[in-house]
A and B are shown apart, each in its own frame.
Chain A
Amino acid sequence: MEFETVIGLEAHIQLATTSKMFSSSSAAFGAEPNVSIDPVTAGLPGSLPVANRKVVEFAIMLGLATNCEIRRFNRFARKHYFYPDLPKGYQISQYDEPICERGSITVEVGDGTRVIGLTRIHIEEDAGKNIHEARLGASLVDLNRAGVPLLEVVSEPDLRSPAEAAAYLRTLRTLVRFLGISDGNLEEGSLRCDANVSLRPVGSLQFGTRTELKNINSFRNVEKALEYEIARQHGVLRSGEKVVLETRLFDPASGTTRTMRSKEAAADYRYFPDPDLPPVVVETRWIEQVRGVMRKLPDECRRELEGLGLTPYDAAVLCAEPANLEFFQAVFGACGNAKLASNWVTSELFAILNKANLEIEKSPVTAGDLGELLKLIQEEVVSGKMAKAVFEDMVTTGRSPRVIIEEKGLRQIVNEDEIAKMIDWVLDNNSVQVQEYLGGQERVFGFLVGQVMKATQGSANPKKVNDILKLALEKRR
């Protein structure tokens, strides 16, 4: 029997706010343990949550970007369970009233696109971190992350392969990075992902029994974990057994998944509306205000770049990361030639960044300097060939192109009188070759060009040399 893979993803996106979801201590990543703390974060008696306006606005933004319906009347709910990283004994979340519902994300897979449905997006607070010290026989609790705002994005079970799942997650990551609402960093945990996987006979409309995979913390692992789990479920079904509804933990070291807990022991979270937090009402006016300050989405940016004459491939490369696009836009702004800017950013610049394993934010050449160099090429101050030498110098020294050109005398000679003088001098000193040319041996022309370039140390504009040399030779006929 042939099986079809059915995958749904739950992504947790940590939002790039200054303060926490319900209190005014820092939401920054990587601080010393337990410094981002306050009565609310520590769940001290008497402390009360107050919701962060920006989080609601970020949720609206992502909802708009994914074609969701935005709920007008929102309430927060308490979800109860005991764990040391959960200071209040409940997590503040949204339950049956998520702020965004029924959206979609268009994902490029292979040569085509697929529309993946979004069930919901809701706001919740993150938990702290437990650090297990078997040596001490103890677990240590750091509450810095407790209360950091999250958006949980739940997809419909619309994904049909590990590759699609990875592509979906990449698209979502690009989206939140373009919106500026999260850095979407899987390794640092600001984007986390759980997957629901099941198999069903091809043609069947019913879903098979699913398992939930946890601890998938890189794009590579998304595919690896899903591939392993799909193969495992194939094995189970082929041997005539049944897949057990359970949560499985992915182990990146072995590339396998193992049982974490079975659903029979499912927790009873006792959700109810949080009485400490008044409802949040999202009126149309507020949605429009948010829309007004929303940054452009990757798709729109790509269309704009293609409109400037860039190839779809280059446009896609530049729109993979907001920082790429920003860099390109700054270069384009300085030189005024989109195609030239795109070529230099995607080939010369990316080559050196890849070689040095640098993020574009850490580029040794600033967008302004690169733009300046491209402007000089267009003004014929420097030839394209020379420009590459200038660029290499810029990379190593960080100096501006003008300084390098002046210092190394790389300025192109474009003055026609100056070139004509040089040509006369060359012709005077190569009368044999001039006679050969005039006698019909046209290939000697190349030799004479070479002599002119040599005499100008390569700084003469080759096209002008060509034109003027032809005229000068004719005059000597």
Chain B
Amino acid sequence: MSDVPTKPPLDSSVVSQIERSDDIPIDVNAIANLCYLEVVPERAHHLKQELTDILNYVKALSAYDTHAVEPMSHVHVGDVNELREDELIESLSREEVLSCAPDRKGAFYKVPLIIES
């Protein structure tokens, strides 16, 4: 069931490992792959150091007791059910939107042929 999430990764061993350890495990290349950025080899070490510094700093949050504290995903907690009615609203023309594209073929966006791996 690939698309059906199990619970979020509450892996307590990882959590405590992060809270305890002085060095946070960072695989710069793995992160870069996830977000499609390239890391040039000569920058990799420096970047890793920068990220480590920042992550070591933010790790300080583990000192705060957040037991039973709700995470704040939205600012105004009481503002809910901001829904729209199921109706059409005139918007942009196809040409207005497609004209922004760096490459197109007729009425389609164009990308290099996708080859399923």
Contact = CB atoms under 8 A, between A and B. Distances in A.
Interface of A: 8, 10, 17-19, 23-26, 32-35, 37-39, 42, 44, 50-56, 75, 82, 84, 95-96, 119-120, 130-134, 136-143, 152, 154, 196, 212, 247, 260-261, 263, 266, 268-271, 273, 275, 277-281
B97 A53 contact: no
A37 B92 contact: yes
A266 B4 CA distance: 12
A212 B97 contact: no
Contacts of A84: 109, 111, 114
Nearest to A49: B84
Interface string B66-102: 0000000110100111111111110110100110100
5 contacts: A17-B86, A44-B97, A55-B86, A142-B107, A154-B1
Contact of A38 (B74, B79, B91, B111): B91
Contact of B84 (A24, A263, A269): A24
B91 A34 contact: no
Contacts of A54: 85-86
B34 interface: yes
Interface string B1-35: 11111011000000000000000000000000010
B113 interface: yes
Contacts of A10: 1, 3-4
A154 B6 CA distance: 13
Given A19-B89, A54-B85, A130-B114, 7 more contacts: A51-B82, A119-B4, A138-B111, A139-B112, A140-B105, A154-B4, A275-B74
Contact of A141 (B7, B94, B111, B116): B111
Interface band, chain B: 35 or more
Contacts of B109: 34, 84, 140-141, 143
A208 to B, nearest CB: 15
B110 interface: yes
Contact of A51 (B74, B79, B83): B83
A44 B91 CA distance: 13
Contact of B112 (A19, A137, A260): A137
Interface string B41-83: 0000000000000000000000000000000011010011111
Contact of A35 (B80, B94, B116, B117): B94
Contacts, number: 150
B82 A278 contact: yes
Contacts of A119: 4
Nearest to B74: A278
A184 B37 CA distance: 40
A142 B108 contact: yes
A277 B4 CA distance: 21
Contact of A132 (B1, B5, B74, B113): B113
B5 A53 contact: no
Contacts of A263: 2
A281 B77 CA distance: 11
A134 B115 CA distance: 10
B108 A140 contact: yes
B107 A52 contact: no
A334 B43 CA distance: 81
B110 A138 contact: yes
Contact of A280 (B3, B83, B91): B83
Contacts of B89: 19, 24-25, 38
B108 A42 contact: no
B86 A34 contact: no
A52 B86 contact: yes
A34 B98 contact: yes
Contact of B4 (A17, A26, A120): A120
Given A10-B3, A268-B34, A278-B80, A25 B88 contact: yes
Given A34-B94, A50-B82, A136 B8 contact: no
